[in-house]
A and B are shown apart, each in its own frame.
Chain A
Amino acid sequence: MNEGEIIKYLRNRFGNKIRRTDICRDRRFYINVDSDCLKDVCKVIFRDLDARFITSIGVDERQYNGGFLVAHNFAFDSWKLLCSLQTNVDGDSPSVQSITDIVPASNWAEREFRDLLGIEPVGHIYPKRLVLPDGWPDGVYPLRKDFPYDSVPEGFDENRSFKFDDAPPGCVVVPFGPFHPTLDEPAHFRLYVEGEMVRGCEYRGFMAHRGIEKLGESVLTYNEIPMAAERICGICGCVHNVAYAQAVENAVGIMPPPRSEYIRTIMLELERLHSHLLWVGLACHISGFDTLFMHCFRIREPVMWIAEKISGNRKTYALCLIGGVRWDITEELNQELREVIGKLETSWREVVKAVEKDSNLQKRTRGVGIADKKLVKESALLGPVARAAGVPIDSRRDHPYAAYNRVEFDVVVSDFCDVWGRLIVRMYEVFESIKIIRQCLQKIEPGSIQATITDEIPVGRFGMSSVEAPRGECHHFVITGENNRPRRWRVRAPTYQNLQGVPTMIKDQQLADMTLALASIDPCFSCTDRLETVDIKTGKVRVYSAKELETLFLWR
């Protein structure tokens, strides 16, 4: 089916409850429906048309039309379409039908717009606070437009503590995190353990919500956001940088020149190379195979060096601006990059040959962290986790961007459904990345690397962009706005969805497998807000608040 046929199908089912439809460029379309039939339309799209859930977005539009906007984004991967299903919500007492009982994957996204914008998802299956800190006063919504970006709300209660759910009968609670040797970033899992078996868990995260979307909507300007977006993630920063730029370009129809599209593709693939090599190293490290960990990092290092030569930094490439890129790949760099990936391919082939038959590693990873096709659909899992479950989704092929429609590559799929499958998928994707970079270097066209932008960006346009990060699809949604900055900028990183699948993946598994199962999604959290110290002499535990810390370590 194409966009028109889907809209026709929905119109036949729902008649004039479908208020408005827009078919836009790059195979994206927008549907605005009455709020009372939102759930039914979602059901048809998600179940009958078999779409993949991407994310839910809340937008404060009260200063323009007196209400809020709620959007549920879906992807039709086999038809190569992206769809945003929207509904307008009343401004005074905003509430919307929850779709969590049909689309379980929308669990976090709905809680997020409830916390940040105060739009109540009626009938949510697990309506617990998700994003805001425990002491944050009720009824204050930081992402609303009337809330200044640097405001501290009245009535912040330092002493209000988080209420955990009750553990199931017969289970012992084992806390995992927020500080744990295998977690680089803070996240807390409260595991319910029966003997050695994990029977369930409760997740508590968002300990380092940085409010980067608010910053983008109220302080930064269009061409400053790419640099801020890059700081969302320390490993796949360039993905966010490109995804944001593409979302704005998609919204207003700016065409980046072909050369810049090739450069974007090359840098994204370089990033995937170093991320996958890092992950394989870490997976080996967690399963106690440190030799290979060292060698993965040895093989990875030249990738960082060549990225530094091209962009000026090993990791933060600061690559994109709206309508192009900042760094050119000269003939000299082109030659050098060919040599680097040539050497990388030989040394990686040796590693893969050694590892794919390693029965010790297989025994450690087979049957651990099972995510099957059903879980992938229900929790909308992405990237290598989905591909290791035999679901061939890859934004590079399904929703082509940059120069991916001009290169040939295979989507690596495995049927193991476990950590071993994810290891295999990632190891072979390295070869696909090398293939893509080679083709790009050969096909790269001469010309400009930045489109000339002569007019200001028009107001009120929608833009979507999906970019395949090493961990899965990264989705950016932009509504353009006044004052040279977007009105709404929503980021959905791949871990946001993959993490929601972890409780099912570790259920009925050994406690010792928890670390490996969690690491297998390549999780990406962030920094911390509290610090606990123990007085060695008295053994007294004291928890410092952020304010006390500020006075302790006065940084000004």
Chain B
Amino acid sequence: MPDMSALFFWLLAAIIIASALAVVLLKNIVHSALYLVLTFVGVAGLYILLNAEFLAAVQLLVYAGAVAILIVFAVMLTRRGDIRASNLFNVNYLAAAVVSLALFIVITLATGRMAWTATPGQAPAGNVGAIADAFLGHFAIPFEIAAVLLLVAMVGAILLARGGKQDQ
């Protein structure tokens, strides 16, 4: 009987790849946005498989929640013309496909041939507690800086979205 986690992995991998392809290939930008949410959810599932429950929760909240909403808003605000042909390829798509494929092959082959050496150890029982310790201990300064970054990004986004004075 196959391992349950392996089964889940293949299932989630199939969902992620299929929906990611849908994001890229579909011609309707609204559909793309919805499949993007599906991809995010699939990735959150992977996190659970990898014993990163807190991260899975963050993924769902931030990506599937906030980011997806933002994107849908953007789609709505910039909509123009036929929505069914709102997400087309540009002239370089063949070259882009070749480059992407080549990069994939190189990455897969290179990582596939690496001999990884694991450090033995037991995963901490309380995932959330361990992350909290890390953030407020060892990573306190990056944590604070990340907070500042978020603030700056928020202010910047508001400024940019408002537009300059000449637009009013």
A binds B: no
Residues of A at the B interface (CB closer than 8 Å) are none
User: Which chain B residues have a beta carbon within 8 Å of chain A's beta carbons?
Assistant: none
